[in-house]
């Protein structure tokens, strides 16, 4: 819009006027109707005899300041135990309620609409009240996540009678320092149903562990469910799990908590299996962290492996001992020829007191109905840079290496610098079968993906980095964040292992 400023007549400049290269400030008043608009006007300069020197057109974006003006805003943040962020918002405002000659009012209260996220929807300014034309500050507390929020900021007089408002937008920064690693969970992948202590309905015991990889304590809500996942044909009711859900925490930063879950295998026939999932969340708006497992009923007369009650936990460069029990359920003596390994090839396994190697092979003679404990020493072989949160200890018969008898979680605890490596693996079948591997990387490091069918022979594999490029030798560079790479696969492969290594 265009208009005429005030004064609208000739303005006499002091002295001899503005010399060449000089400056001069002149205050003018713009009409009330220009508030919130782009206001344009012309300015003509005259010499001392009244002759026109030049004319220029000026356009100014004017704030909608018939109520208040936000002069300055600042935001500080603090991480909360639930993973959300507490923002302290400080606004410096000018009371313009008397703008345009109206009486105006003192500002005694301020509120945010909608109030969602604000700890106190209505706050008091400082000083209180702020008189018309005066300047004061308003401090508010908001709990949420980074991003931009836009709200109606309303001010009221001390009696909450008069009110005016305008929309303001506030930028909320990310308060999380350094690279962020997602939380992790692990469930014993495969456990057998064994007769209960009282000899009635068979039960299986599975350990569920969740790890807090944030820098603040977190409390998680978790629950179990079962569904039909071929080849497993049994669907477990919620009542089969004890407990079937609950709360974990608070889990300290970098810490893990394990809950043993007893699963009742009522109605299982030999060879039956059931798939189930345990999901946890610390905030409903941020999605769930889910881990999957299976329970099965061994065939009649089979060798059964019972896993330890307490899941092993191995620090970087350290060892831990664990014991599995081998049971002969047949009425004839057998020799159980076992192959014991871990799913990522990161552990050396041997008898108690010996470092061993991976995989570890052992023969156990068993009388009819006999149970023999086997003590194992698990030693970490990694240097901590490409280490997942967990691996699984897997026991197989030597004549059937593709089908484990048991697969139980082993916690790979962290010390010092948070290591980076595989964070998630997903299978994509359309348009071509592909394994998508999400890798948390460090800036300046170089990585390579390797694959194996048996955890013994490892080969380099091509990896197409999504939204990025691959080096000529098949490696890819770390970005300081997560990199997703795709590895071709065959849907007919019964099993395939992947590791990510750093290249010197």
Choose between 9 and 425: higher pLDDT. 425
Last residue of one domain, picked from the residues 62, 89, 106: 62
pLDDT in tens, 143-187: 888 888 888 888 888 888 778 888 888 888 877 654 456 788 889
Instruction: Tell me, yes or no, whether 240 and 145 share the same domain.
Output: no
| 418: pLDDT strictly greater than 60 | no
pLDDT in tens, 384-417: 665 777 888 899 888 876 788 888 888 887 654 4
Choose between 113 and 278: higher pLDDT. 278
Which tokens is 150 given? 């836009």
pLDDT of 415 reads 56
pLDDT of 8 reads 66
Instruction: Tell me, yes or no, whether 318 and 361 share the same domain.
Output: yes
d(CA 459, CA 488): 14
The structural domain count of the chain equals: 5
pLDDT of 21 reads 84
pLDDT in tens, 236-281: 999 999 999 999 888 887 788 888 999 999 889 999 999 999 999 9
Last residue of one domain, picked from the residues 365, 387, 419: 419
| DSSP helix, strand, coil percent of the chain (3-state; round to 5) | 0, 50, 45
| 378: pLDDT strictly greater than 50 | yes
Across the chain, mean pLDDT equals 83
The parent domain of residue 25 ranges over 1-62
Which tokens is 428 given? 């994509």
User: What letters, b where the CB count within 10 A reaches 16 and e where it falls short, cover 91-127?
Assistant: bebbbbbebeeeebbbbbbbbbeeeebbeeeebbbee
Instruction: Tell me, yes or no, whether 415 and 467 share the same domain.
Output: no
pLDDT of 223 reads 94
Instruction: Tell me, yes or no, whether 311 and 406 share the same domain.
Output: yes
Instruction: Tell me, yes or no, whether 378 and 450 share the same domain.
Output: no
d(CA 135, CA 92): 7
- The mean pLDDT value for 278-302 works out to 86
Instruction: Tell me, yes or no, whether 101 and 186 share the same domain.
Output: no
pLDDT of 176 reads 61
| 139: pLDDT strictly greater than 50 | yes
Instruction: Tell me, yes or no, whether 259 and 234 share the same domain.
Output: yes
Out of 33-37, 100-104, 197-201, 218-222, the most confident range is: 218-222
The full DSSP string for 73-92 is: EEEEEEE-TTS-EEEEEEEE
| 283: pLDDT strictly greater than 90 | no
C-alpha separations of 6 from 13, 32, 182, 378, 429 in Å: 15, 11, 61, 86, 72
pLDDT of 445 reads 78
pLDDT of 416 reads 46
Instruction: Tell me, yes or no, whether 271 and 331 share the same domain.
Output: no
| 487: pLDDT strictly greater than 90 | no
The CATH number of residue 259's host domain is: 2.60.40.10
The full DSSP string for 226-278 is: EE-BTTB-B---GGGEES-EEEEEEEPTT-EEEEEEEEE-TTPPTT-EEEEEE
Its sign, for the CA torsion 313, 314, 320, 325, is: positive
Closest CA to 503 of 446, 462, 423, 427: 446
Tell me the three state secondary structure of residue 32. Answer: helix
Gyration radius of the chain over CA positions = 35
Instruction: Tell me, yes or no, whether 412 and 429 share the same domain.
Output: no
Instruction: Tell me, yes or no, whether 86 and 150 share the same domain.
Output: yes
- Looking only at Cα atoms, what is the longest distance across the chain? 125
| 90: pLDDT strictly greater than 80 | yes
pLDDT of 443 reads 64
- The mean pLDDT value for 273-302 works out to 88
Window from 221-235, 266-280, 446-460 with minimum mean pLDDT = 446-460
pLDDT of 417 reads 45
Last residue of one domain, picked from the residues 36, 62, 88: 62
pLDDT in tens, 306-351: 877 777 888 877 888 888 899 888 889 999 899 998 887 888 898 8
Which tokens is 237 given? 């009711």
Instruction: Tell me, yes or no, whether 332 and 263 share the same domain.
Output: no
Instruction: Tell me, yes or no, whether 434 and 395 share the same domain.
Output: no
| 455: pLDDT strictly greater than 50 | yes
Q: Are strands 273-281 and 245-251 parallel, antiparallel or unpaired?
A: unpaired
Q: Which phi and psi (to 5°) does residue 363 adopt? A: -115, 130
The answer, as to whether pTM is greater than 0.75, is: no
């Amino acid at each position: 819009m265009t208009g005429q400023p005030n004064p609208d007549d000739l303005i006499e400049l002091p002295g001899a006027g503005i010399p060449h290269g000089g400056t001069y400030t002149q205050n003018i008043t713009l009409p009330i109707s220009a508030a919130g608009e782009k206001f344009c006007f012309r300015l003509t300069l005259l010499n001392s005899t009244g002759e026109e020197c030049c004319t220029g057109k000026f356009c100014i974006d004017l704030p909608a300041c018939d109520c208040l003006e936000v002069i300055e805003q600042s935001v500080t943040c603090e991480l909360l135990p639930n993973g959300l962020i507490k923002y302290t918002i400080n606004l410096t405002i000018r009371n313009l309620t008397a703008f345009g000659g109206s009486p105006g009012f003192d500002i005694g209260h301020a509120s945010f609409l909608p109030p969602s996220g604000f700890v106190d929807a209505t706050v008091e300014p400082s000083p209180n009240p702020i008189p018309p034309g005066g300047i004061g500050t308003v401090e508010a507390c908001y709990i949420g996540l980074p991003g931009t929020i836009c709200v109606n900021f309303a001010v009221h007089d001390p009696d909450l009678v008069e009110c005016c408002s305008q929309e303001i937008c506030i930028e909320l920064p990310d308060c999380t320092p350094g690279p962020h690693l997602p939380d992790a969970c692990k469930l014993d992948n495969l456990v057998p149903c064994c007769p209960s202590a009282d000899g009635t309905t068979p039960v299986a015991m599975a350990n569920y562990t969740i790890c807090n990889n944030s820098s603040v304590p977190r409390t998680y809500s978790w629950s179990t469910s079962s569904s039909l996942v071929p080849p497993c044909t049994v669907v477990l009711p919620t009542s089969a799990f004890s407990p079937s859900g609950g709360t974990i925490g608070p889990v300290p930063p970098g810490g893990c908590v394990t809950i043993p879950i007893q699963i009742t295998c009522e109605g299982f026939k030999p060879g039956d299996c059931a798939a189930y999932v345990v999901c946890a969340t610390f905030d409903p708006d941020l999605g769930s962290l889910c881990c999957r497992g299976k329970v099965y009923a061994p065939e009649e007369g089979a060798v059964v492996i019972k896993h330890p009650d307490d899941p092993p936990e191995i620090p970087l460069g350290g060892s831990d001992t664990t014991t599995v029990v081998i049971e002969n359920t047949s009425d004839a003596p057998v020799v159980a020829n076992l192959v014991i390994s871990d799913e990522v090839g990161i552990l050396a396994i041997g008898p108690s007191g010996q470092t061993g190697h991976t995989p570890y092979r052992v023969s156990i003679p068993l009388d009819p109905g006999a149970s023999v404990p086997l003590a194992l020493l698990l030693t970490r072989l990694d240097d901590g840079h490409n280490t997942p949160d967990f691996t699984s200890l897997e026991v197989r018969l030597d004549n059937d290496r593709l089908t484990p008898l048991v697969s139980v979680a082993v916690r790979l605890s962290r010390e010092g610098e948070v290591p980076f490596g595989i964070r998630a693996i997903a299978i994509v079948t359309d348009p071509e079968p592909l394994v998508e591997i999400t890798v948390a990387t460090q800036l300046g490091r170089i990585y390579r993906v390797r694959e194996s069918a048996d955890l013994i022979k490892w080969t380099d594999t091509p990896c197409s980095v999504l939204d990025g490029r691959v080096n000529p030798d098949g490696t890819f560079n770390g970005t300081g964040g997560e990199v997703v790479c795709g590895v071709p696969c065959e849907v007919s492969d019964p099993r395939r292992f992947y590791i990510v290594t750093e290249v010197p």
